Structure 1
Amino acid sequence: MATVRPKVMKALQPDEGRKGVIIEEELELREEDMRTKVLEIVKDVTKKASLAEAHVIVAGGKGLGDIQGFQLIHELAEVIGASVGGTRDVVEAGWLKHEQQVGQTGETVTPKIYFAIGISGAIQHVEGMKNSELIIAINKDANAPIFDVATYGIVGDALEIVPKLIKQFKELSKEKGGEMSYV
């Protein structure tokens, strides 16, 4: 038996010719044979979709400088209706919660659109987002590894570029009467 975290690989197309065999086993287990016991099941009641289920993710890295610079990630995500993610560094700095971390030690995601802003592209982060359908990277360093997996790359200062993106998306939203779908 093998297990794989969700979204690590793309699902194969269904093959109608494949058939499985169900083998039912009778087990003689009693509650007292168990070392653990489920006391309570707590369901997450947050309104936002988890990163693993998000269609659009705006993720930021330490290239945004500080928590004030990182606020641009939240603003852009709000304008386009996206979820917010980030690198391990920003989680460790306290800018985001652990459940918003993308990468090997965080969530593996496959959104339709992934914005990688101020993210260098360390392999640990890339492994968690490389299967996104469209990756848009913004980084000052033209040689940053994130550009190796990006569909589109913008070389420049995220602190200058992201406010312009926010402004453009807001204008588009106004033109469309506030009804925007980016997916």
Structure 2
Amino acid sequence: MNELSCLLEGILFASGEPVYEEKLRQVLGIDAEQLHRLAQELADSYDAEKRGFQIIRLQDSYQMVSRAEYADTIRRALEVRRTPSLSAAALEVLSIVAYRQPVTRAYIEQLRGVDSSNTVLNLLDKGLLEGCGRLDVPGRPMIYRTTPAFLRAFSISSLDELPDLPELRELEEKRESEQEEAGS
């Protein structure tokens, strides 16, 4: 293993959180292609050796994480409670935000047809959603987006990996037609 690989491994291990590619390139003094190659070589070696951890890529960052297949044993060893599964309402809100971000709570509620403030607050508390500014309209409502924790929770490295969701498009069209009918 060369020195750059060791440095990358050490940084990712010590961080415990995602580290942005730009920061890694700057600190290691390498370009994007070299970084991707180093990270892939490390990931491949961990896979070949069946190590208890792996390197994952999350959009524009990398993180060292324990392997999913060892999660139950790791939780028992660390006496960490399993995170509760998400409710149907939470999954619905996450889907709307993931596919249409950034969005306001009003937009979410318009699509769902129900008050979603508690669900949004719970997802903010869980770190799956985050505020990312305010809309430049009267009242300046908060706008929301998904987080790297969302990507990790659903084992994807970027939003581009989300499957096409025609149901969301149909739901939007249905709400728009209902609004047009109510306005007539």
- TM-score, reference length from structure 1: 0.28
Report 1 or 2 for greater relative contact order, CA contacts < 8 Å, sequence distance ≥ 6.
1
- TM-score, reference length from structure 2: 0.28
Higher helix share: 2
